[in-house]
Structure 1
């Protein structure tokens, strides 16, 4: 494929370009365009301009702890084998045989020193190196095997054990791309020296919705808890009253990332996301800066989205309010686009390594019952997301329907910018505002219109 073909393929049509430029003009007035939530050409451009350029989460190192371990994961519509090779190095290898293009990996996870293509038997080490093929001397004598190994993602980096890959070799480093979000994630992941580990397998399920809806929800849509998730408070799953939960901060963390905290910075009692005292004793608070310690100490709930499609949440919930007290949980998921109107959710649950197995089980149970496939929160969200996506495909709606993103803009409502915010990013208090969503879409439009 020539570079000219690639450049032409990534160019937007006048129609799609006009949609995005209209959105850009309206966004500063707090208005979004429903049409971008279900459009085939926009989706195809996103695969190249967003997922092909930004850092994508693939796996956690605790999923592949041993040499030879691997898992299958995705970046957009490309499938990668994430391996810890025989030398302990982590690789992200495109699951495409360079002979005729077949997939070589036929299991979602496992341990193997080699991968063999089922079509003609080309054989590769777990670092992607071609080592042989049937009747190699007769068929390929003289072939330079070093030139025909499997294709690697150009960039692979880790952040506290979380493995990311980028398909653009010229992109900024992962930490630079994370911008201010790196500071907040470092606070969470550094609470314990041993860091976090995955609990069980990632859950996978599909939603007939557009990935941007889910991403903007986790970027800063705390407002929907007051109605869509009201039943979770009514039955005691969530212990923080819903209006009290809105007392906190939305932070635009740079590069389209958004994070939100329900918090009491003036609390005399340390909160630490309501971790029990025996868990807090395992934290090494010397790992945190003075500012990080202050924020962690007063935090009740944290939710965020790493642009484009990585979302996380830490809060205490109960799987059985009448019998089981709320337990802190940490869920981390990606909204993998598999079409303009469908996403596949990869949903991981984590806990700090140096905690008891009993506490890990309790946290996992709380997480699965609330943010698992059939969880009390998880079952609520797809209902509006699916109707939003379906409505966005309507002929009249695509042309004429605008959506309101004005909460907290130009003095609307009670939320105001915190001018003396001491931590990274731009903050607003309380959480009755949609600035994080607007910031996410501002980055999205910038990426989509780049080089047009």
Structure 2
């Protein structure tokens, strides 16, 4: 992999930011040690990052362990029902406190020297406290390191920056589009089963970009889906729709629309009617036209919603997948993938949606295999010495005017196949790397 000299890195970031404004982005960014290190230092140390869905820890004592950058975090529900997040590290000598990725425990006990904490992070037990410390150690001063958290519609986010803006400000107008994935009925959504979880030789940014609205690849990488009847659209109509982004925030969504696709098609009729009472009038007008929706919450949380025919040619079942791309090194990431289902839906529909998700975007899903094969090859190419100064074109739609008839917020252009969302994504990424956020 290529690596920039530290003295050159700041200049490279500024040149990259200028290139983004002109419709270019460097290939090297997708597999470079110095870029990865800078992302850890300036991006993941400050941005709001997704940790878990509240339905993963429904009961007192439930917990999961997740990551923000290179920091392992315990997200746990306390005995009072409140959710807490703490660095997964003992304050005595730094041992990992919780070695399981999920479970239930009211307390965590260090396997090294036995320090014991409530799952809220409070230190309550120190072996040989009186004999060893002779009153010099106060338990209240040595709690686990807390992580600031907040939530939106069941999504728990954390930030390592105590001075950062609120989560509401961070998400901004993109909450309008997030509701498309999260407010399926009055009870909202829940995760269905544990997340699929695997390692891949893929850079996280390729995935985040793809799910920020890349409808351009679908008729090529997934063309079999059209030919065999798994899509309720065709290659010629798939590009229709809108690309919506929140300027200056990095968030973006691609909304695919097919002229003959029924409003809220793929949902049970009773659920579709219930959603109309949950969404605002503007949301209902937009969402009822949407066939496929792929979106990314900056930096590395993405969603996809689409109908998928369990039997080719038959009406599709609408499913939602939520996915997190956790970087573990240059050109390498840990993938988490969940299925979201309407909490108030029937078991029959939940099972059908989960099956559609598994066949399409589970770890061994057909679409997932298409994507990861391409993403891994892009990542490998990005490490080549010859591409150190090679840029990719991001100029599609640079002259597009906002759609004056679209009632949703943000910068919205048509068609859905467009680079506008990507330029917005990389502009925000550049702001963080330049330490200007």
TM-score range, shorter-chain basis?
over 0.9
**Residues 273 and 343 (structure 1), Cα distance of their counterparts in 2 relative to 1, 3 Å cut:** farther
**Could you tell me how far 1:14 is from its partner in structure 2?**
2.7
1:122-157: CA deviations, max 9, x gaps? 01111111111222221234111000011111x211
For residues 195 and 427 of structure 1, what CA distance do their matches in structure 2 show? 26
Pair 1:421 & 2:406 matched: yes
Pair 1:212 & 2:201 matched: no
User: What is aligned with 2:365?
Assistant: 375
For residues 320 and 116 of structure 1, what CA distance do their matches in structure 2 show? 50
- Point out the more displaced range, 339-348 or 133-142: 133-142
1:126 corresponds, among 119, 122, 141, to 119
For residues 119 and 417 of structure 2, what CA distance do their matches in structure 1 show? 49
Pair 1:351 & 2:341 matched: yes
User: What is aligned with 1:175?
Assistant: 168
For residues 343 and 7 of structure 2, what CA distance do their matches in structure 1 show? 52
Pair 1:449 & 2:434 matched: yes
- Point out the more displaced range, 66-75 or 387-396: 387-396
2:133 corresponds, among 125, 140, 148, to 140
Matching of residues 200-279 of structure 1 within 5 Å: 200-254=193-247, 255-263=249-257, 271-279=263-271
SS in 1 for 2:409: coil
SS in 2 for 1:15: helix
SS in 1 for 2:287: helix
User: What is aligned with 1:76?
Assistant: 69
User: What is aligned with 2:380?
Assistant: 390
TM-score between both structures, scaled by the size of structure 2: 0.95
**Could you tell me how far 1:21 is from its partner in structure 2?**
1.6
Check the 8 A contact 2:232/2:315 in 1, yes or no. Answer: no
- Point out the more displaced range, 96-105 or 202-211: 202-211
Q: After the TM superposition, which segments of 4 or more aligned residues of structure 1 sit over 6 Å from their partners?
A: none
1:305-347: CA deviations, max 9, x gaps? 000000001111124427x642110000111000011011110
1:233-257: CA deviations, max 9, x gaps? 2122222112212110001123000
User: What is aligned with 2:91?
Assistant: 98
User: What is aligned with 2:319?
Assistant: 329
Alignment root-mean-square deviation, CA = 1.8
1:38-70: CA deviations, max 9, x gaps? 111110110121111111111111111111111
For residues 405 and 429 of structure 2, what CA distance do their matches in structure 1 show? 28
User: What is aligned with 1:309?
Assistant: 300
**Residues 298 and 29 (structure 1), Cα distance of their counterparts in 2 relative to 1, 3 Å cut:** same
**Could you tell me how far 1:18 is from its partner in structure 2?**
2.1
Q: Which runs of 5+ in 2 are unaligned?
A: none
TM-score between both structures, scaled by the size of structure 1: 0.91
Paired residues, number: 431
Check the 8 A contact 1:247/1:430 in 2, yes or no. Answer: yes
**Could you tell me how far 1:116 is from its partner in structure 2?**
0.2
User: What is aligned with 1:402?
Assistant: 391
For residues 39 and 398 of structure 2, what CA distance do their matches in structure 1 show? 28
For residues 273 and 147 of structure 1, what CA distance do their matches in structure 2 show? 55
For residues 363 and 23 of structure 2, what CA distance do their matches in structure 1 show? 33
User: What is aligned with 2:26?
Assistant: 33
SS in 1 for 2:369: coil
Q: Which runs of 5+ in 1 are unaligned?
A: 1-11
